[in-house]
């Protein structure tokens, strides 16, 4: 736990930037806040003490930490301000001093709180950035083992819990201790006997609150798990809303969400019940202590060991010291919960991509000769191999089609080229060098993937196309859209290229979304193009428009085409037939038809002459 706590504080670096000013703000707040209660004594003495005698003081008294100095100092202020003694003038002076000290107390309290907020905001910003950047840097396989809801919950809810761990550090270190010390000093300066007697009750308050706090960690952890479940259900329902409605599954989704929400609410109420019990319980114990102190203190007043004004000031100070004591313990509770959330956050930050560059990796500067698959094997979980001993080559400028029955490993094969995954064994060579010897970023700069599932963002049409090239001009975007057969429908949109397409492009048809994806690839102008069943989900008219755009995109490029509709790959330079993770056949369309094997049967099934 301590290591997690230290790491969390690392996000607040440089800590001194916040701790040093907060130290002074907390100390000054404690001094002036305590002084407000010190003022009770002279106010009561002036108003209610029958034998009170004013003694004028004409020189600044020597500073001493006791009530005698306070009395002399106030008399000095009064003497140089008013001269002649009048009760109303004394009360006026006391009121002014009280206002000034209260103003200064709250001023430094505000400055301290603002310092903590600055630390909180900057720390959380840095933490979210680190988490998001690490997530985006993970390999594709990481996300097949993780639920989006859990990841989102950690970036949002867990980070909000961690903020208390970080911000409360300064309060635990400075503010509450200073206030406790200030009130203790005041209490001892009034009566050491009564102080020792009353302090016996403070540990009792701490023990009760501590026992309540101890029981919060388990429900807090379970609560975060349920929050992750709810976010997952919400994400799935919104992403698949058409499927939900088409199968009239609203009831099922609602029940699932309600059950998770009910469980989450139960856990929240369980935590709230324990948290809210701490304050009234500690207050009750504090009042119980005050009741006992009233008896003991009253006896001291009656035997002349304590003045009535001092006794009232003591009671006020004691009633206030329970507040920072309670807060001190509460802050520790928040820190404990924050550490637990921090451990979940670090599970993301510490996650490492299995796809790593070789120590001597160099930048890929473009395909010069060929891409070779040499005895490539791949499995997702180390058990069943999806690909076995795959060997073939793709020469620069060639179009190689990969076909075969569903589930044979076609898409997996194509995802090895941009290194979404790395081979389990065997290797892929580009211009004679292992693909691992090139940096991932430089490889992907020279490649584009147009997949069946088009990924668009809640942005304008131009913004989605321009994703293919940083700093692209409007003219370049328009030209790419024309090549992709998208310009005409874009111009019919309400705001043309500035039209927002909604979440995941929901305002567009399937064919329109696919043509924007192609326009994005055209704009990037990649050397190596991977088409993963880019037309399989389209109707005939859309397929014709998209296929025409793809033909324009394929010209002069090295291409890997995964085809469901085999009519689109007749002219491929080479056709690789994948069946159950192995290469079953390879050749041209004519040679494979003459072979009469799997490819010929697939053609026959699709009624292609």
Q: What is the pLDDT of residues 97-110, one digit of tens each?
A: 888 888 999 999 99
Separation of alpha carbons 530 and 546, rounded Å: 15
Clarify whether residues 155 and 294 are in a common domain. yes
- Record the pTM: 0.67
Is 142 among the domain residues?
yes
Q: Give 609's pLDDT tier (boundaries 50, 70, 90).
A: very low
Q: Looking at residue 481, which CATH number applies to its domain?
A: 3.40.50.300
Cα angle 322, 332, 104; round to 5 = 55
167 phi/psi in degrees, rounded to 5: -70, -35
Separation of alpha carbons 375 and 361, rounded Å: 22
Is 261 among the domain residues?
no
- Among 477, 496, 525, the domain boundary falls at 525
Instruction: Give per-residue pLDDT as tens, 274-301.
Output: 666 666 766 676 677 777 778 888 888 8
Q: Would you state the pLDDT for residue 207?
A: 65
Instruction: Give per-residue pLDDT as tens, 387-433.
Output: 999 999 999 999 999 998 888 888 889 889 988 888 989 999 999 99
Clarify whether residues 342 and 465 are in a common domain. no
Highest mean pLDDT among 54-68, 455-469, 547-561: 455-469
Is 588 among the domain residues?
no
Q: How far is CA 149 from the centre of its chain?
A: 12
- Among 506, 525, 544, the domain boundary falls at 525
Q: What is residue 466's DSSP assignment?
A: G
Clarify whether residues 334 and 463 are in a common domain. no
Is 388 among the domain residues?
no
Clarify whether residues 30 and 145 are in a common domain. yes
Q: Looking at residue 101, which CATH number applies to its domain?
A: 1.20.1560.10
Clarify whether residues 343 and 465 are in a common domain. no
Look over the chain and give the mean of its residue pLDDT values, rounded to a whole number: 80
Q: How far is CA 6 from CA 2, 12, 335, 338, 479, in A?
A: 6, 10, 12, 12, 54
Q: Would you state the pLDDT for residue 132?
A: 83
Contact 404, 578 (CB under 8 A): yes
Is 241 among the domain residues?
no
- pLDDT over 80 at 485, yes or no: yes
Instruction: Give per-residue pLDDT as tens, 322-332.
Output: 777 777 766 66
Contact 164, 337 (CB under 8 A): yes
Separation of alpha carbons 340 and 224, rounded Å: 10
Q: Would you state the pLDDT for residue 213?
A: 56
Counting Cα atoms < 13 Å in the Cβ hemisphere of 452 gives 14
Provide the domain limits for residue 132. Answer: 2-217+275-349
Q: Would you state the pLDDT for residue 343?
A: 75
Instruction: Give per-residue pLDDT as tens, 198-212.
Output: 777 666 665 665 565
Domain count, the chain: 2
Clarify whether residues 335 and 471 are in a common domain. no
CB-based burial label for 269 (10 Å; 0-12, 13-18, 19+): exposed
131 phi/psi in degrees, rounded to 5: -65, -50
- Using DSSP, state whether 325 is helix, strand or coil: helix
- Among 349, 372, 398, the domain boundary falls at 349
Contact 368, 152 (CB under 8 A): no
Is 301 among the domain residues?
yes
- pLDDT over 70 at 606, yes or no: yes
Is 193 among the domain residues?
yes
How would you list the strands of the sheet with 574-579, edge to edge?
A: 447-451, 528-532, 558-562, 399-403, 574-579, 582-587
Clarify whether residues 466 and 320 are in a common domain. no
Q: Would you state the pLDDT for residue 50?
A: 59
Separation of alpha carbons 581 and 579, rounded Å: 5
- H or E element at residue 586: strand 582-587
Separation of alpha carbons 35 and 39, rounded Å: 6
Is 362 among the domain residues?
no
Clarify whether residues 68 and 193 are in a common domain. yes
Q: Give 473's pLDDT tier (boundaries 50, 70, 90).
A: very high
CB-based burial label for 9 (10 Å; 0-12, 13-18, 19+): middle
- Using DSSP, state whether 257 is helix, strand or coil: helix
């Amino acid at each position: 736990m301590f290591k997690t706590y230290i790491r969390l504080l690392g996000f607040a670096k440089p800590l001194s930037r916040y701790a040093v000013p907060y130290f002074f703000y907390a100390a000054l707040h404690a001094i002036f806040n305590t002084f407000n209660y010190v003022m009770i004594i002279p106010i009561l003495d002036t108003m209610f003490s029958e034998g009170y005698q004013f003694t004028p003081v004409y020189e600044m008294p020597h500073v001493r930490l006791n009530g005698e100095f306070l009395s002399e100092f106030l008399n000095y202020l009064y003497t140089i301000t008013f001269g002649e003694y009048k009760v109303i003038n004394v009360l006026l002076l006391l009121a002014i001093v009280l206002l000034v000290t209260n103003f200064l107390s709250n001023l430094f309290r505000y400055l301290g709180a603002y310092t903590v907020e600055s630390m909180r905001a900057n720390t959380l910003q840095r933490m979210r950035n680190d988490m998001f950047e690490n997530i985006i840097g993970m390999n594709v396989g990481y996300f097949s083992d993780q639920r989006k809801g859990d990841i989102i919950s950690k970036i949002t809810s867990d980070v909000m819990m961690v903020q208390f761990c970080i911000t409360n550090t300064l309060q635990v270190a400075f503010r509450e201790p200073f206030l406790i010390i200030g009130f203790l000093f005041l209490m001892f300066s009034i009566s050491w006997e009564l102080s020792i007697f009353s302090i016996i009750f403070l540990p009792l308050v701490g023990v009760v609150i501590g026992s309540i706090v101890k029981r919060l960690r388990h429900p807090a952890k379970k609560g975060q798990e349920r929050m992750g479940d709810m976010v997952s259900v919400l994400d799935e329902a919104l992403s698949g809303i058409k499927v939900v409605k088409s199968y009239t599954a609203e009831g099922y989704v609602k029940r699932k969400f309600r059950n998770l929400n009910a469980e989450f609410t139960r856990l929240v109420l369980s935590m709230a019940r324990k948290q809210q019990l701490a304050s009234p319980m500690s207050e009750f114990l504090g009042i119980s202590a005050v009741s006992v102190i009233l008896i003991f203190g009253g006896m001291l007043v009656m035997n002349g060991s304590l003045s009535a004004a001092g006794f009232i000031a003591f009671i006020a100070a004691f009633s206030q010291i329970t507040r920072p004591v309670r807060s001190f313990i509460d802050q520790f509770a928040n820190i404990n919960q924050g550490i637990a959330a921090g451990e979940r956050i670090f599970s993301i930050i510490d996650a490492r991509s299995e796809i790593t560059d070789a120590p001597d990796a160099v930048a890929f500067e473009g395909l010069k000769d060929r891409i070779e698959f040499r005895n490539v094997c791949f499995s997702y979980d180390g058990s069943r191999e999806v690909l076995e001993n795959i060997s073939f080559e793709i020469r620069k400028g060639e179009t190689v089609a990969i076909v075969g029955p569903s589930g044979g490993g076609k898409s997996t094969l194509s995802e090895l080229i941009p290194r979404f995954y790395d081979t389990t064994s065997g290797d892929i060579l580009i211009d004679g060098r292992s693909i691992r010897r090139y940096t991932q970023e430089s490889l992907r700069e020279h490649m584009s993937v147009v997949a069946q599932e088009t990924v668009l963002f809640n942005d304008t049409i131009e913004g989605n196309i321009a994703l293919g090239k940083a700093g692209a001009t409007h003219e370049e975007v328009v030209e790419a859209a024309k090549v992709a057969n998208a310009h005409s429908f874009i111009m019919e949109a309400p705001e043309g290229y500035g039209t927002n397409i909604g979440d995941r492009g929901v305002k567009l048809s399937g064919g329109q979304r696919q043509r924007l994806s192609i326009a994005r690839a055209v704009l990037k102008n990649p050397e190596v193009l991977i088409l993963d069943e880019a037309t399989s989900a389209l109707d005939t008219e859309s397929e014709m428009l998209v296929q025409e755009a793809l033909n324009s995109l394929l010209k002069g490029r090295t291409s890997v085409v995964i085809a469901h509709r085999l009519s689109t790959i007749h002219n491929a330079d080479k056709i690789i037939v994948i069946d159950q993770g192995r290469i079953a056949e390879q050749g041209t369309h004519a040679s494979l038809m003459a072979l009469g094997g799997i490819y010929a049967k697939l053609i026959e099934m699709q009624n292609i002459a």
